Structure 1
Amino acid sequence: MNEILWLQFAHIVAFVYWLGGDLGTFVASRYVVNRDIGVEARAIALKIMLACDQGPKMSMPLILPLGMHMSVSMGLVQIPTWALLVVWLLAAVWLGNVLVLYFNEGKAFTARLSQFDLYFRIAVVIALTVFAVMGLLDQAPIFADWVAWKILVFAALVCCGIAIRINLKPFVPAFVKLMSEGPSELVNNTMADSVARCRPWVWIIWLGLFVNAAFGVHLIG
């Protein structure tokens, strides 16, 4: 019982940092693209935005093994111990990659790590979707449909993160240009459009987190 309580506690903490960090990132992004404030203030806002974004980026790989471990301990999912260890190992690799990218931002070697991170997330989405759908079809050892739905929602949230990354691609070179050449209509519009395209995906992430929280406390499912 103590193990389950500690897993639940860690799972809740990860949820809080994911949702809270996302909110901080969202608010800071509005100042980054605010053309009415100075370049230095926008640079500081970007630093705040990136720091806040580490909450969700670290919570995402942690929530997965915590939730899986808790489900196995509660008898809701049945997988061998070695498979659970593999889940934790992959989550550690994912989390380690996130931290290396953050603390080495701008260095040449991070380009390959960033590409690896993208492909890793795509693989996670595919694996979790297949596992959850098989569970709903009684072809995988998931003994509660709400757990399968939580896994599907989590996979969708990872997809939203990928979509945000894709839509932020024009933002980075535009911000570099802002820092080196100063503001211009083109730079301001590019940054604002890029961030605006990300907002719907952020809202979907928030909705997904609320839905999974509702599954977790059995409000639904």
Structure 2
Amino acid sequence: MAELINISFYQLLVFIHTILFVLWLGADVGVFMLGQHFRKREKYDLPQRLVLLQLLVNLDMTPRTAWALMVPLTITMVDAGGWWDVPIWGVMLSWVVGAVWLWLVWDAHIHDQTERAARDRKIEFILKIGLTLFYIGLGVLSLVQGEPLIPVWLATKALMFGLIFAAAIMIDVAFKPVGPQLGKLIAEGSSDETEIPLRKTMDTTRIWVWIVYLLLLATAFLGNIKPF
């Protein structure tokens, strides 16, 4: 009975993991499409484009929320599935990290354009760098030594999850100039002088967005097919 309960718990975690993946990728595609329409200054006037941008920012909270929840969920899954005997304190720590990250994301969103939001995002940035190093290190160590993640596909998936962190961090870095550029667009109106630099920033950001999409699909493939 205990084994049956454990299997059911693991299956529940897999289901939740799938839902989070769908929300992450699906909502992010929506963000991408809104960004595409925001770029069309020949089709929409500036007030309409700003509404699209506001929708983009709000919808973007869905993948950001899913991303934060993926951290404790992945640690709990590998433990419940018998892939890695994670100490109970390690599982609990992962949920604390996930909860703190989730709070930072939403607190920054609610208090946007304030010093509090800027502080939240600085802390979040440091946290994401730490998690990037953790997952990449876990993946590389497992591939080289064959532990703690024994299956090659799972070790590779951990490594790729770390690379997703790195690419997503680069999205935020590349997108950072948008703030002052958008402020200039609102203050001075639409013109080549205000639009072209903003467009270049968004184009650069889109490169990293596509990298995240490809890595997400690759990790989903590894998790479902388990080719090696």
Q: TM-score range by the shorter chain?
A: over 0.9
TM-score, scaled to structure 1: 0.95
User: Shift of residue 54 of structure 1?
Assistant: 1.1
CA displacement at 1:219 relative to structure 2: 5.0
Aligned partners of 1:141 and 1:158: how far apart in 2? 21
Residues in 2 aligned to 1:138 and 1:7: alpha-carbon distance in whole angstroms: 27
Is 1:170 the counterpart of 2:177 in the alignment?
yes
Structure 1 match to 2:3: none
Corresponding position of 2:160:
153
Query: Offset at 1:105?
Result: 1.0
Q: For 1:136, which of 143, 161, 166 is the aligned residue?
A: 143
In the other structure, the counterpart of 1:72 is 79
Which of the residues 31, 49, 69 maps onto 2:37?
A: 31
Q: Secondary structure at the match of 1:217?
A: helix
String of CA shifts for 1:134-179, please: whole Å, max 9, x gaps.
Answer: 1112264212221111111111111111111111122111111222
What is the letter of the counterpart of residue 11 of structure 2?
A: L
Aligned residue-pair number: 221
Are residue 115 (structure 1) and residue 122 (structure 2) matched?
yes
1:119: how far off?
Answer: 1.1
Q: Report if aligned partners of 2:38, 2:53 keep a CA contact under 8 Å in 1.
A: yes
Does structure 2 retain, via aligned residues, the 8 Å contact 1:160–1:201? yes
Give, in whole Å, the separation in 2 of the partners of 1:99 and 1:9.
Answer: 24
1:16 maps to 22
Q: 1:27 deviation in Å? A: 0.6
Instruction: Please say if 1:5 is aligned against 2:11.
Output: yes
1:47 matched to which residue of 2? 54
Q: What is the match of residue 4 of structure 2?
A: none
| TM-score, length of structure 2 as denominator length | 0.92
Whole-angstrom distance in 1 between the partners of 2:51 and 2:15: 33
Task: State the superposition RMSD in angstroms.
Answer: 1.4
Q: Which residue of 2 aligns with 1:193?
A: 200
Alignment equivalent of 1:204, drawn from 204, 211, 218? 211
Higher mean displacement: 3-12 or 31-40: 31-40
Partners of 2:33 and 2:85 in 1: CA distance: 41
Write the letter of the residue equivalent to 1:151: A
Give 1:59 deviation, angstroms.
Answer: 1.0
One-letter identity of the residue aligned with 1:109: R
Structure 1 residues 141-150 or 40-49, which shifts more? 141-150
Decide whether aligned partners of structure 1 residues 63 and 48 sit closer, same or farther in structure 2, where only a CA change above 3 A counts: same
1:219 & 1:187 partners in 2: Cα distance? 48
Q: Which has the higher contact order (CA 8 A, sep 6+)?
A: 1
Q: Judge conservation of contact 2:83–2:150 (CA < 8 Å) in 1.
A: yes
Identical residues among aligned pairs (%): 27
User: Which range moves more in the overlay, 116-125 or 132-141?
Assistant: 132-141
